[in-house]
Chains A and B, each alone.
Chain A
């Protein structure tokens, strides 16, 4: 035992040492394992944070109400993620791909706004062309950039301001919309910091995500632009114009010294150009005129007036195309009407120079209506309406004029509206009447026929002659139905008086055809149908068209008249002598009668020229074997003169006023002579 003791002791010592080493190894292994685990946990955590960040950015990119909202959120989240206290966004100015400089936005993340305020001021006062400073470097290269220590960076114009507020390191990365830089985001920390490639990779993802928002917003802007602009001329459209106009109206209400004007511009004869040369020519003309109006407005010489707060300052004048050949201009901040008239005249001058379209010179003129904002309008719509009214007034005065709206125009327009609505109901309410005026043989004063004349039994105004409403009815396109009614009614009544007042030959019945009625494609069928329905002898019906209507499209007239002739009706050219007749057509037309316009008849006594015209017409008629009726025959002297000239028939007050069928006067005329 004694021998083994030392061995045993030394064995125990050795074993203890071994155990110690083993324990030490185990401990080191455990510590190392713990460190590996800690590192893994840390990476896991960072990955999770990274994912949360990217997720938040992706959500913002998809859902943010606006681009600034998405960028603000991105800046906040990056600062939260990095723990860096300052973040900021720049926008790139200039066309895509043609970067001019970076504009500091008002989108910031400032952990301590007061502390970093001087840096913010400095930044917002700086313009960064490509290459300059941190954002400029990023914009120029399209790559992220990192500044480890601002104090040691030579290309950092804001160095002093940054150092003053304690910013020491920074990085920035681009927002790429497609292949060009749309914005730059920059971040700063208060401690120097080495470049972190992993962080920049995450930021590159964010840049791409935000780029999509830019692209989407651009597409939306384009759509919005399209919604508010005319596609042909690229000018603002009615919606945008009305928006600007409403703002001007409300500005005028708040600032008594502020006045504006609305110009309503309508091209004269535009329809003719469109119809004769085609829509391509019309469009080219509109584009050129839009360009000229725009250019002319840009050299505006009205001076902006003081007294408006800055954010209320007048906008630029707005030129818009409402549609067709209608343009409008909102002139901001005028002194008085003369400013507006001067602009209108300049615009008219710009329009009047010829426009060359494929070698053809097009000449355009424009009528301009002007309304002043100072007239106390509450609604932009009213202003536009009155400018339109004034424009019509300008047109009525003759083309290429301009007219400033006044109240009487409004009253006329209101009257016209009332007339339109009354007219629309007149047919269904059966307010139209026919009056008949006799046509007599001058030699014997015997009634040979009657002309049916339209009257309107207006519920308020009483009996109205066509002069009061015919033009409006024509413009409303109401003439064909009215004419059909007249034709039908005249034939029916003429047929009806045959039994109580028999005569031989029975009197003819003349009915006027308006140009619109004459233009109806189914005119001949309609006349045939009326004759069939009423049972009137076609030989008793005389259809009258005016000389100017007949000559407007003589070729067609000839065809229609021949077809009507086949029905057996007789035809008259009305108002003869007032238009320009082609003799060759006149010879061809199968007309029976020329009616000399009453202006010649009534002036025959005083005016030798009128007398000569009457003589010429009568001679012409004789040559062509036509009858002649002198309209407006009012005196015995006129009758004598007409007889001298060998005009055989007359019509006028001398022989009888137009009267309704049920009147005693007409009945007297219908009774055969000698049976009074």
Chain B
């Protein structure tokens, strides 16, 4: 897992629960805690931190991941504004993941093991999104999607139609996006 994810997690936890909370989590998870976005760290370590956070907060790991994903999005938008500025809706932004954003990630980190999404666009505000990853972090993906919608000031309904955790070969999400003012997000 790329160091940026650990960095984001640190910022999110520190912001929401204070800096000591992050120290506590590191202790709880038995992690050293020195992460740089340029490095890669065992997936295992992220999962331990998530598990620790779940224990400390009394929430499920999925809830922790969703919350983390959603809260991380503004940070990403701040650090990599060009990806957000060139798109005018969550719908359009999500469709750039495979073709623009992940290729960019690979440019910087040639070995980055980014997930592969597949998309189907059955109607102007409905997106069918497939997710495949050995990490099975579909909850994090969901959090990110929610964060994206929030960034564009849209609301969404997120149906998790299939899940790798249930033995399906991939996760599939049906995402319906609405403008926060009640309009349909298709007016891109």
Contact = CB atoms under 8 A, between A and B. Distances in A.
B17 interface: no
Contacts of A37: 38
B36 A41 contact: no
Interface string A20-48: 00000000001100110110011001100
A37 B39 CA distance: 11
A38 B36 contact: no
A397 interface: no
B182 interface: no
Given A83-B99, A191-B86, A46 B107 contact: yes
A30 B109 contact: no
Given A83-B99, A191-B86, A41 B37 contact: no
Interface of A: 30-31, 34-35, 37-38, 41-42, 45-46, 83, 191
Given A34-B36, A34-B37, A83-B99, A41 B86 contact: no
B108 interface: yes
B110 interface: yes
Interface string B68-104: 0000000000010000001000000000000100011
Given A35-B79, A41-B107, A42-B107, 16 more contacts: A30-B36, A31-B37, A34-B36, A34-B37, A34-B38, A37-B38, A38-B37, A38-B108, A41-B109, A42-B104, A45-B107, A45-B108, A45-B110, A46-B107, A83-B99, A191-B86
A83 B103 CA distance: 10
A46 B110 CA distance: 12
A42 B103 CA distance: 11
Contacts of B104: 42
A41 B108 contact: yes
A40 to B, nearest CB: 9
9 contacts: A30-B36, A31-B37, A34-B38, A35-B79, A37-B38, A41-B107, A42-B104, A45-B110, A46-B107
A34 B99 CA distance: 24
A37 B86 CA distance: 24
B107 to A, nearest CB: 4
A35 B107 CA distance: 14
A194 to B, nearest CB: 10
Contacts of B79: 35
A42 B104 CA distance: 8
A12 to B, nearest CB: 16
B38 A38 contact: yes
Interface string B105-127: 00111100000000000000000
Nearest to A45: B107
Contacts of B103: 83
Nearest to B110: A45
Interface in B1-49: 36-38
B108 A42 contact: yes
A369 to B, nearest CB: 70
B58 to A, nearest CB: 29
Nearest to A83: B99
A191 B86 CA distance: 9
Contacts of B37: 31, 34, 38
Contacts of A41: 107-109
B108 to A, nearest CB: 5
A191 B100 CA distance: 12
Give 6 nearest A-B pairs by CB, closest first: A45-B107, A34-B37, A41-B108, A38-B108, A42-B108, A42-B107
Nearest to B104: A42
B98 to A, nearest CB: 11
Contacts of A35: 79
A191 B104 CA distance: 17
Nearest to B109: A41
Nearest to A38: B108
A335 B178 CA distance: 77
A453 B15 CA distance: 131
A45 B37 CA distance: 17
Nearest to B39: A34
A523 B5 CA distance: 110
Contacts of B99: 83
B111 to A, nearest CB: 12
Contacts of A45: 107-108, 110
A161 to B, nearest CB: 22
Contacts of A83: 99, 103
A31 B35 CA distance: 11
Contacts of B38: 34, 37-38
